[in-house]
Structure 1
Amino acid sequence: MEAIVSLLWGKNTEVLRHYSTRRRRLVLTLTGFAGSDAISARAIQDAGGSVQLLEMLLPDGRIEEIRSDAASRAHAVAHAVTTEQWPEFCGATACGVERVRGVLIDRLAERLLPELVLVEALEVARRTHAIELVVVNEDVTSLGKTAALWARAHSVPVVHLAHSEILGELYTVHREFHADAMLAFGPHGTEPYRDLGIEQQRLPVVGNPAWDRYDALIAQRAALRSEVYRQLGLSERAPLVLFGTTWAARLSAHDVPDLYERSVRAFLTAVRIVRAAGIDLNVVVKDRPANAGIGKPLLDRLAGEIGIDTDAYRYATNETEALIVASDVVVSVDSNLSIEAMIAQVPALNLWDERSWTLGPCFGAADGIVQTTGSDLAAAIAGVITNPGFRNAVLAGMNAQRHRYYAGGGAARRAAEALIGYARVPESAPSNGAPVYPWQLLSMEHGNDLHAGYIDQPRSELFHLFDHPPRCVLDVGCFTGATGQAIKQQYPGVRVLGIELNHAAAQVAAGRIDRVFERKIEELDFIAEGIQPGSIDTVVLADVLEHIYDPWNMMLQLRPWLTEDAQVVASIPNSRNLLLILDLVGGRWRYEPAGLLDVTHIRFFTKDEIVRFFSETGFEVVKMASAPDVRLNSVVGPTDAATDIDLGKMVLKGVSPEELAELKTLQFLVLARPNGRAAGPRMKI
């Protein structure tokens, strides 16, 4: 299946929607990025695409193994920086011995884990999908850089969709450029990279998709302003001054550690001066959502020190665009908020700090944006509010230069078209014969293909279900034998038999486990193959039952060959998943190359039906665990009471905590054993 890897932020969901409209692709992403939540995933699916979380490609238990690996690597680094060669190295490189040591080892294992998980998931994705593009919002820090470097190493096109308009000089990590191209907001945003030597053709201007909302908001400015005033309880007689906070990225010695507090103090001081002059103001401080827990207490403390009542301003962490359009003045610190004010035709004041002198100026004298320091900020605010001539001159200057920063509406569509241009697989005729639609998989020959959507990783999460060490295992649908091989490693002396119809996979499995049968289990002559009745004590059914036309008959035929203490472990997709229900309510039941609606699934089970299935075929479920669907992590309810779940067109009433857990389950992990076994109680559902 053709796919793209996307580490775009949620604000760029529209780009993925437009891309999916043109190219029906699987979007591979990580939790926390666009497509990982139900709303953005739905937008992509409605456009014809599909979504798969990269970390879900790894088998359960693998992330914990990677965590151990990260800890081992961190321990090795911690040891290296305590050797006698370390001071010599620091001396040769002019680094502080203790300072650099602390930077290297501080939370290193924690910081390594997501990088290692991403790399391994990308490798799995590369084996199972034709990846035509990697797109990121950042290619120089953390996960974005890792994805970009991985793409370059595997000759996969990688594009950086800018997350902001670069205003000053590039410094430290920002002087790197790992993508094949960067899609810029406006011509001004390309200048620092061209100064770095990046060719203009690698810096196409498409605009900022997150700013596409402004045209509609500006068209309803009066109504929007009234609503903002109403929601925040502002005085209708007074103008609105909006301040956007900043932060210290700590990526350079140029950074001011207390910039957040210092800039807020400067703004509040200016507000006190303006009000003392008899000018009435509405004041809103717009903070970053990440600061929601600390911002308001800090703001209140600084206001008290400066002499401003805490009810004389409002604190907000969202709806940036609406606040800007509703404002009369926008104050920020070397920020893209000034550009957004320029788009919204609201006067912008840029508050300088120490970095502005060393890495700026961020705006030119002719840009119309008022440049101010803390000492003259009050005069600038008062001038824009009380002097119409000054205000009009500021707006005229901003309007004249807007084209340098803003490419106009429709940026999401232009960005998607640019990404399609960089993707390596031709749009109309995939060079590798990969299917465009999931149903085309059904008519393709997979008998000799190891890349048929399966992963060569052991299903070790099923081992926790064993209630006794296995002696003779039958792994139905063993693929390449990774699970059987892991069982043999963990339980020396065990015999593992496998059933696998894919010839290429069976050939690999034959080198890992004891025997592999390339035929359907219903067609297997156990006696002829030397398997005696009552000899198999463990059966593994990992994502198998949903693919079989008559799984009931299969279980009945299997029963005579099992021991009295036999254990059957299975993983089974949950058809009562909340996202499936939501799709069905919305009129959708869209098959996918993989996942809950894998196009090759022909049987569907809920938790209750799993218990019924085993009971009717001579087994009882004695243990059941849930693998959560991380896409539903944001759906929460009380732990001790029932709740209602509003699905828009339908409301689920009185959902108990246990039912909610079931609705948030991706698949169930089951241990069953033959009916009539004396030990152990029957499971209660």
Structure 2
Amino acid sequence: MGTTTPQDDQFHALLKEYSYPLSLEGENTASRTLRLVGKNKRVLELGCSVGTQSKVLRHDLNCDVTGIEINPSAAEQARRYCSRVIVGNLDELDFRPLFPQEKFDVVLCADVLEHLYNPTSLLSRVKPLIDTNGYLIASIPNIVHIAILLEMLHGKFDYKNNGILDNSHIRFFTRKTIITSFTEAEFTIALLERSYARENETEFDLRNTINNASRIIEYIRTNNEECFTYHFIVKATPSQSSREELSILNAHMENSSLIALATDKERELAKLERRINELQSNLTWLENKTPVRIARWIMSLIHNKSRNLTSTKAT
């Protein structure tokens, strides 16, 4: 057995086992991603960890799952739900000898690309494994979320055990770099969706910042349309188009996704306006009722005082 280096120790310290409650009914990123996979699919799940998503794919969607996982301990647990689990580093694996004839309906990259040194290379290497009419599904954290920007204003870029700054993340993505990576890997983006979180709904403690940086927050909200995007959710298909044609197609999809983003914001604004109207209505009701209650309270005091005086005189 060879000796280990400090770099090896650091590498193995980042081998994590991601386990969390998960069902298809949720509106979180993982649930939405799995629903895009569909039923009765042959799935290649990259970075399957302990099999949290593999379990749902197998039991709830009746999928046949092949997993690839870098952590041997996590891979062993995932074997409970996968037909096959390969232990390997996605940055280095040559898929051709592993799957010389095999094709998959879906390649799943759920919060995986940000853990790699060369995510575009991975996308290119798995492309031949996708069968006709197949597709790739990915969820990818957004590095320009408002919480990250507010942290950086205070000189912070502190890694955490999970979330956008998970301490095993190597690469960071924006909407633009996602479009670029998939285009360079020769995928057509068929769907680009988002999951949202406001600045006070993340893993970062921003209470003091939120209270003292209202103008900065308003500036970010006005100038960064993706400031509340926590994850991007991508569905992409292998493309036979030229690079120029593919760039145009993916740019069109990006524009369509921005229209959807604007619609989401209009829906959220309408919800806030309804809430404001509700609060204003309640305030009006209270303002109308309070004088009556005060008058009744004063009359009650006068009545009780009068009764007390009458009782004292009679005595």
8 Å Cα contact 1:627-1:667 kept in structure 2: yes
Identity across the alignment (%): 29
8 Å Cα contact 1:573-1:666 kept in structure 2: yes
Cα distance in 1 for partners of 2:60, 2:84 equals 18
Look up the match of 2:75. 506
2:52 to 473, 477, 482: 482
The 3-state SS of whatever aligns with 1:549 is coil
Residue 671 in structure 1 maps to residue 242 in structure 2: no
Kindly provide the amino acid, as one letter, of the partner of residue 106 in structure 2.
T
Structure number with the bigger relative contact order (C-alpha 8 A, sep ≥ 6) is: 2
Residue 472 in structure 1 maps to residue 39 in structure 2: no
After superposition, the Cα gap between the structure-2 partners of 1:530 and 1:666, relative to the gap in structure 1 and judged at 3 Å, is closer
After superposition, the Cα gap between the structure-2 partners of 1:595 and 1:464, relative to the gap in structure 1 and judged at 3 Å, is same
Residue 574 in structure 1 maps to residue 145 in structure 2: no
Cα distance in 2 for partners of 1:551, 1:444 equals 18
Q: CA deviation at 1:487?
A: 1.1
Residues 600-620 of structure 1, C-alpha deviations (whole Å, 9 max, x = no match): 211110122212211111112
Mapping 1:111-260, distance limit 5 Å = none
After superposition, the Cα gap between the structure-2 partners of 1:582 and 1:560, relative to the gap in structure 1 and judged at 3 Å, is same
Whichever structure has more helix as a proportion of its residues is 2
Number of residue pairs aligned between Structure 1 and Structure 2: 223
8 Å Cα contact 2:95-2:125 kept in structure 1: no
Look up the match of 1:240. none
User: Which consecutive unaligned segments of at least 5 residues does structure 1 have?
Assistant: 1-439, 635-644
8 Å Cα contact 2:70-2:90 kept in structure 1: no
The 3-state SS of whatever aligns with 1:473 is strand
Q: CA deviation at 1:530?
A: 4.7
Residues 497-521 of structure 1, C-alpha deviations (whole Å, 9 max, x = no match): 0001111111111121100000123
8 Å Cα contact 2:141-2:164 kept in structure 1: yes
8 Å Cα contact 2:45-2:109 kept in structure 1: yes
8 Å Cα contact 1:442-1:600 kept in structure 2: no
Cα distance in 1 for partners of 2:166, 2:201 equals 22
After superposition, the Cα gap between the structure-2 partners of 1:532 and 1:456, relative to the gap in structure 1 and judged at 3 Å, is farther
Look up the match of 1:462. 33
Look up the match of 1:565. 133
Question: What is the TM-score when the length of structure 2 is the normalising length?
Answer: 0.62
Give the number of the structure whose alpha-carbon radius of gyration is greater.
Answer: 1
After superposition, the Cα gap between the structure-2 partners of 1:552 and 1:444, relative to the gap in structure 1 and judged at 3 Å, is closer
After superposition, the Cα gap between the structure-2 partners of 1:521 and 1:587, relative to the gap in structure 1 and judged at 3 Å, is closer
Cα distance in 2 for partners of 1:475, 1:666 equals 22
Look up the match of 1:491. 61
After superposition, the Cα gap between the structure-2 partners of 1:516 and 1:469, relative to the gap in structure 1 and judged at 3 Å, is same
Cα distance in 1 for partners of 2:75, 2:17 equals 15
The 3-state SS of whatever aligns with 1:646 is helix
After superposition, the Cα gap between the structure-2 partners of 1:620 and 1:588, relative to the gap in structure 1 and judged at 3 Å, is same
Look up the match of 1:106. none
The 3-state SS of whatever aligns with 1:684 is helix
Q: CA deviation at 1:597?
A: 1.5
Q: CA deviation at 1:443?
A: 2.1
Cα distance in 2 for partners of 1:676, 1:530 equals 22
8 Å Cα contact 2:68-2:88 kept in structure 1: yes
Residues 382-421 of structure 1, C-alpha deviations (whole Å, 9 max, x = no match): xxxxxxxxxxxxxxxxxxxxxxxxxxxxxxxxxxxxxxxx
Look up the match of 1:550. 118
Residues 555-614 of structure 1, C-alpha deviations (whole Å, 9 max, x = no match): 111111211322111111111101111222332222222221222211110122212211
Residue 613 in structure 1 maps to residue 190 in structure 2: no
Mapping 1:291-330, distance limit 5 Å = none
After superposition, the Cα gap between the structure-2 partners of 1:551 and 1:470, relative to the gap in structure 1 and judged at 3 Å, is farther
Look up the match of 1:170. none
